[in-house]
């Protein structure tokens, strides 16, 4: 960095890259006032220059060759906003090896290849920043690393996937079926053409990997997280949950327990009185409990050009201010330590309250058989709803909420219940907050 000038190169001028470029061009004076630095958008590499992005790029080098950024000795910070694994991974490696700091929003890459990338960053004395990878515009990573640094984080409950939250909100508020709500999310541009990562829980698990790595000062294996998505939830389940005083949300959960970390992503019934139950549409929220601060909640837009651009520029300014103070010295506060393996506990050891919905034959004695099996497995029922026969079929839905039980006991009970002809194949087990 010379004369307090920070040169920036963006690779990928899509939704997020455009947001970053727009902020760097529009907020140049504001950023200078706040940081005493001049941020210069020097170059952008993008494959498709035909799209109109309503940006004045007359002073920016526009190229299709990422090497024009990665090999430019004047560029201090590279922003990677192309997404996916390759060539994003190779570009980030090359930037770090050329001793350029990197800022990215690429949660899939950080969650799965972060260990390698952080090692390369450390070996080259540069930083890899990723605020925008979790919670879009919400400064959750900075909040955890700096604002809550004095705390052992006891638990995190996050609504981290805007698409799933939008779908569940539409199902809850407007009684849509899952497929209808998904189609609507796609039409509005919230969901990808292939929504598997969103509705399957993988995207939330990527983000949970990152949050858990930060608060545990080590690196969590993405594969160690239990993941269940929202595709099996029906309008009926939403209504049952509603009648029992709950709202269903896809939660990413971090809990510090005696034997390690309990990490999971799954749909969860949240009591309507809890703040997280009121987080609707495509918004995100992260409910964090620290041992000294107590309960806190971070809330806001989890995606979109402007919020995500805002988070990336936050990282750029943060990085650059440290460069000004200690030229060339890497800040340890940002590091996810890739060498520390974090111990997680298997899902079978986790205890939960459960929501169970069965379709059973409309015949006497069935409920007592189900409750008998649950009782034999040490599971007691806390509330129950038995409804009218389902549509034209001779099946009735039975809905139970249990007291706390281990996942292993519940699995054992469900294996027994599945053996009965009177239970229709498709039953649903959800967890209760």
Ligand X SMILES: NC(=O)c1ccc[n+]([C@@H]2O[C@H](COP(=O)([O-])OP(=O)(O)OC[C@H]3O[C@@H](n4cnc5c(N)ncnc54)[C@H](OP(=O)(O)O)[C@@H]3O)[C@@H](O)[C@H]2O)c1
Reduced to 3 states (helix: H, G, I; strand: E, B; else coil), residue 63 is: strand
What secondary structure letter does DSSP report for 40? Answer: E
Indicate the residue among 137 and 290 with the shorter CB distance to ligand X: 137
Scanning 26-34, 99-107, 166-174, 394-402 for contacts with ligand X by CB under 6 A, the matching segment is 99-107
Q: How far is the CB of 189 from ligand X (least distance, A)?
A: 9
Cα–Cα distance, 49 to 13 (Å, whole number)? 9
147: contact with ligand X by CB under 6 A: no
Cα–Cα distance, 244 to 165 (Å, whole number)? 20
132: contact with ligand X by CB under 6 A: yes
Cα–Cα distance, 78 to 100 (Å, whole number)? 7
Q: Within its chain, how far is the Cα of 50 from the centroid?
A: 32
Burial (0-12, 13-18, 19+ Cβ within 10 Å), 112: middle
131: contact with ligand X by CB under 6 A: no
Cα–Cα distance, 166 to 182 (Å, whole number)? 9
What secondary structure letter does DSSP report for 50? Answer: -
Indicate the residue among 9 and 290 with the shorter CB distance to ligand X: 9
Scanning 44-52, 178-186, 240-248, 322-330 for contacts with ligand X by CB under 6 A, the matching segment is 44-52
Contacts of 166 (CB under 8 A, 6+ apart): 181, 185, 188, 190, 191, 281, 282
Cα atoms in the Cβ-side hemisphere of radius 13 Å centred on 348: 3
Interface residue with ligand X, options 106, 161, 164, 284 (CB under 6 A): 106
Cα–Cα distance, 70 to 81 (Å, whole number)? 14
Q: How far is the CB of 209 from ligand X (least distance, A)?
A: 14
Q: How far is the CB of 261 from ligand X (least distance, A)?
A: 24
Residue tagged active-site, from 100, 207, 249, 289: 207
Burial (0-12, 13-18, 19+ Cβ within 10 Å), 364: exposed
43: contact with ligand X by CB under 6 A: no
Determine contact, residues 370/397, Cβ cutoff 8 Å. Answer: no
Interface residue with ligand X, options 6, 7, 9, 11 (CB under 6 A): 11
Closest of 126, 124, 68 to residue 101, by C-alpha: 126
Cα atoms in the Cβ-side hemisphere of radius 13 Å centred on 372: 6
48: contact with ligand X by CB under 6 A: yes
Q: Which helix (H) or strand (E) holds 386?
A: strand 381-386
10: contact with ligand X by CB under 6 A: no
Interface residue with ligand X, options 31, 60, 77, 82 (CB under 6 A): 82
224: contact with ligand X by CB under 6 A: no
136: contact with ligand X by CB under 6 A: yes
Scanning 8-16, 168-176, 338-346, 412-420 for contacts with ligand X by CB under 6 A, the matching segment is 8-16
Interface residue with ligand X, options 164, 213, 308, 344 (CB under 6 A): 308
Q: How far is the CB of 112 from ligand X (least distance, A)?
A: 12
Write the binding mask 249 to 288 for ligand X: x where contact by CB under 6 A, - elsewhere: ----------------------------------------
47: contact with ligand X by CB under 6 A: yes
Scanning 14-22, 113-121, 383-391, 397-405 for contacts with ligand X by CB under 6 A, the matching segment is 14-22
Cα–Cα distance, 158 to 297 (Å, whole number)? 9
Determine whether 207 is an active site residue. Answer: yes
Scanning 5-13, 207-215, 233-241, 413-421 for contacts with ligand X by CB under 6 A, the matching segment is 5-13
Residues that bind ligand X (CB under 6 A): 11-17, 45-48, 66, 81-83, 87, 105-107, 132, 136, 303-304, 308
Q: Which of the residues are catalytic?
A: 207
């Amino acid at each position: 960095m010379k004369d307090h000038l920070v040169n920036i190169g963006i690779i990928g001028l899509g939704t997020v890259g455009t947001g970053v470029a727009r902020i760097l061009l529009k907020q140049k004076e504001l950023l200078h006032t706040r940081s005493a630095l001049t941020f210069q958008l020097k170059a952008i590499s993008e494959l498709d220059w035909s799209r109109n992005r309503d940006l004045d790029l007359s002073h920016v080098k526009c190229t299709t060759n990422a090497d024009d950024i990665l090999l430019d000795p004047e560029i201090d910070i590279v922003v990677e906003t192309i997404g996916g694994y390759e060539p994003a991974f190779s570009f980030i490696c090359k930037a770090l090896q050329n001793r350029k700091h990197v800022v990215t929003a690429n949660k899939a890459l950080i969650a799965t290849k972060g260990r390698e990338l952080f090692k390369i960053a450390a070996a080259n004395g540069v930083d890899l920043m990723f605020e925008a990878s979790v919670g879009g515009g919400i400064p959750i990573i900075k909040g955890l690393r700096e604002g809550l640094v004095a705390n052992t984080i006891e638990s995190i409950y996050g609504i981290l996937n805007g698409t799933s939250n939008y779908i569940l909100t539409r199902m809850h508020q407007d009684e849509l079926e899952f497929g209808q709500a998904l189609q609507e999310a796609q039409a509005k541009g919230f969901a990808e053409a292939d929504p598997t990562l969103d509705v399957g829980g993988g995207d939330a698990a990527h983000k949970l990997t990152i949050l858990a790595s930060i608060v545990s000062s080590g690196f969590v294996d993405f594969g160690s997280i239990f993941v269940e998505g929202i595709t099996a939830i029906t309008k009926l389940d939403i209504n049952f949950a509603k009648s029992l005083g709950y709202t269903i949300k896809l939660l990413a959960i971090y809990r510090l327990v005696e034997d390690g970390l309990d990490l999971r992503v799954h749909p969860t019934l949240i009591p309507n009185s809890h703040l997280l139950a009121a987080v609707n549409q495509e918004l995100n929220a992260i409910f964090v409990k620290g041992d000294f601060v107590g309960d806190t909640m971070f809330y806001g837009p989890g995606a979109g050009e402007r919020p995500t651009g805002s988070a990336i520029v936050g990282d750029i300014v943060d990085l650059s201010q440290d460069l000004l103070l200690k030229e060339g010295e890497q800040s340890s506060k940002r590091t996810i330590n890739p060498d520390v393996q974090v111990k997680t506990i298997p899902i079978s050891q986790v205890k939960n309250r459960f929501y169970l919905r069965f379709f059973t034959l409309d015949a006497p004695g069935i409920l007592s058989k189900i409750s008998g099996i649950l009782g034999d497995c040490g599971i007691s029922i806390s509330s129950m709803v038995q409804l009218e026969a389902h549509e034209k079929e001779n099946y009735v839905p039975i809905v139970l909420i249990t007291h706390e039980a281990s996942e292993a006991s519940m699995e054992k009970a469900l294996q027994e219940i599945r053996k009965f002809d009177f239970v229709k194949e498709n039953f649903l087990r959800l967890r209760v907050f």
